[in-house]
């Protein structure tokens, strides 16, 4: 509608003229008496999401703890690698198998401490190992085939499981990394 036609309509239609007058008065009132509304977004988001700094600090503590447990696990494996045992006589081959697993577990824990994104992948294997080891240890303890000092060497694996589970959770709590453009390999683009 052209401005002159609108002006003519407002001059001849008392309902529309009254509506325009009310709208103009409301607009002026809102502009003049505008109050400052506090910005509560940080407080609301602070309650909904952990601050990245706090998650990173916790993540770093978990990484250090996991690295320490990885070193302990390797120390447990070293005697068996050289044919000695830790308070439980075993056949040489069984000792070597246990040593290989302890070494692999220690290295996996260290690798996870240095690259926390691996925590979710290590978690399932470690949880399975600790679960089966717990059941077997209970059976061996009940039958007298193992003594408590030997079972105490498994505490490093249990501590590793707890730390990997917590580190995996901390990794999921971090905001996603910004997406980076991945260049398509030349062979897929058809460029020789």
pLDDT of residue 110: 94
**3-state secondary structure string, 156-173?**
HHHHHHHHHHHHHHHHHH
- Residues 6 or more apart from 133 whose CB is under 8 A from it? 154, 157
Residue 185 has phi, psi (to 5 degrees) of: -55, 145
Share of the chain above pLDDT 70, in %: 81
Render the burial of 162-188: b for 16+ CB within 10 Å, e for the rest.
bbbbbbbbbbeeeeeeeeeeeeeeeee
CB atoms within 10 A of CB 106: 23
pLDDT of residue 192: 43
Mean pLDDT of 48-75: 86
Most confident of 34-38, 111-115, 132-136, 144-148: 111-115
Instruction: Judge whether 132 and 160 are in contact, CB under 8 Å.
Output: no
| Dihedral sign, Cα of residue 94, residue 95, residue 99, residue 102 | positive
Confidence at 127, pLDDT banded by 50, 70, 90:
very high
| Per-residue pLDDT tens over the stretch 18-54 | 998 998 888 888 777 767 777 877 777 666 666 788 8
Mean pLDDT of 68-78: 85
- Range in 14-18, 101-105, 124-128, 175-179 with the lowest mean pLDDT: 175-179
Q: Is 190 helix (H, G, I), strand (E, B) or coil?
A: coil
- Residue 187 pLDDT more than 60? no
- Higher-scoring residue by pLDDT: 129, 33: 129
- Give the Cα separation of 35 and 137 in Å (integer): 69
| Per-residue pLDDT tens over the stretch 83-99 | 566 655 557 777 777 88
Confidence at 186, pLDDT banded by 50, 70, 90:
very low
- Give the Cα separation of 56 and 170 in Å (integer): 8
């Amino acid at each position: 509608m052209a401005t002159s036609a609108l002006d003519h309509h407002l001059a001849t239609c008392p309902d529309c003229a009254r509506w325009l007058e009310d709208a103009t008065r409301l607009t002026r009132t809102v502009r003049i008496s505008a109050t400052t509304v506090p910005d509560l977004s940080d407080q609301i988001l602070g309650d909904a999401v952990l601050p990245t700094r706090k998650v990173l600090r916790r993540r770093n503590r978990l990484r250090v703890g996991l690295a320490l447990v990885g070193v302990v696990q390797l120390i447990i494996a070293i005697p068996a690698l050289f044919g000695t045992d830790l308070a439980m006589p075993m056949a040489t081959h069984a000792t070597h198998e246990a040593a290989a697993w302890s070494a692999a577990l220690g290295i996996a824990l260290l690798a996870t401490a240095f690259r926390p994104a691996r925590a979710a992948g290590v978690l399932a294997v470690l949880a399975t190992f600790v679960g089966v080891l717990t059941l077997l240890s209970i059976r061996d303890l009940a039958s007298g085939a193992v003594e408590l000092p030997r079972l105490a060497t498994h505490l490093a694996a249990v501590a590793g499981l707890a730390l990997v589970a917590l580190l995996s959770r901390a990794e999921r709590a971090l905001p996603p990394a910004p997406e980076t453009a991945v260049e398509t390999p030349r062979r897929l683009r058809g460029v020789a």
